[in-house]
Amino acid sequence: MPATNHDKIVVLDRDGVINQDSPDYIKSADEWLPIPRSIEAIAQLHQAGFLVAVATNQSGLARDYFDAFTLAQIHQKLAMTVEAAGGLVSGIFYCPHGPDDGCTCRKPGVGLLQQIEAELRVSLPGHCFIGDSLRDLQCARDYAMQPVLVLSGNGIKTREQLAENRLGDTPVFADLLDAVQQHILA
């Protein structure tokens, strides 16, 4: 059920933050494998009263690596895994476009954040967006959200790019659970 004026929300990237990333894309529910401790982190956020939304680029759709039904199966597995741990994902929002499609929803564009606000009836500026890529952090910054970097996924490479992209003050954590426990719930 959508929240109104909810003051506790966190936006998460998917691949590299919640689940293992792959240069070959996550193309099936069987390939979707949670990063250790990430599901526990989402459950802790939910139990502390936070809405959790996922914002993810899924250009594998545009590239015909998988179809919308398969993506729905992947997201169902994610949601069910979180629910089994006592958590809840309030919404999974994805961009189906390729990098050259010129859409506004592909991060670092902010279209997914606008979709989250409209569907969940929340205001995102000032809240945390946790990601592992420069695109995630730029998207957060451009929407007046607080970017948070995790070193899982592509985070180690991304950390090297922070200063040159006006993101030098971004908090950095080993993984999603550390970010949740040491920053959001601290």
pLDDT tens figures, 4-56: 446 899 999 999 999 999 999 999 999 999 999 999 999 999 999 999 999 99
Is 134 within a domain?
Answer: yes
pLDDT of residue 164: 95
- Both tokens assigned to 140: 């957060």
pTM tops 0.85: yes
pLDDT > 50? residue 3: no
Do residues 165 and 26 make contact, with C-beta atoms less than 8 angstroms apart?
no
- Tell me if residue 38 falls in helix, strand or coil: helix
The domain tally of the chain equals: 1
CA–CA separation, 117 vs 71, rounded Å? 22
Is 2 within a domain?
Answer: no
Question: Please, where are the H alpha helices in the chain?
Answer: 38-47, 68-84, 111-120, 134-142, 155-159, 176-179
CATH of the domain at 21: 3.40.50.1000
- Indicate the pairing of strand 128-131 with strand 91-95: unpaired
CA–CA separation, 12 vs 184, rounded Å? 13
For residue 28, the enclosing domain spans 9-184
- Read off the pLDDT of each residue in 135-159 and give the average, rounded to a whole number: 98
- Read off the pLDDT of each residue in 133-141 and give the average, rounded to a whole number: 98
* Nearest C-alpha neighbor of 67 from the set 23, 28, 21, 15: 28
pLDDT of residue 6: 66
Q: CB-based contacts of 100: which residues, under 8 Å, 6+ apart?
A: none
- Both tokens assigned to 86: 């006592």
pLDDT of residue 7: 82
Is 110 within a domain?
Answer: yes
Is 180 within a domain?
Answer: yes
Is 4 within a domain?
Answer: no
- Active site annotation includes 7: no
- Active site annotation includes 15: yes
Per the residue annotation, which of 7, 13, 64, 178 is the catalytic one? 13
Per the residue annotation, which of 15, 21, 132, 136 is the catalytic one? 15
Tens of pLDDT, residue by residue over 73-125, are 999 999 999 999 999 999 999 999 999 999 999 999 999 999 999 999 999 99
What is the number of residues in the chain?
A: 186
* Nearest C-alpha neighbor of 171 from the set 155, 7, 50: 155
Do residues 113 and 2 make contact, with C-beta atoms less than 8 angstroms apart?
no
pLDDT of residue 2: 39
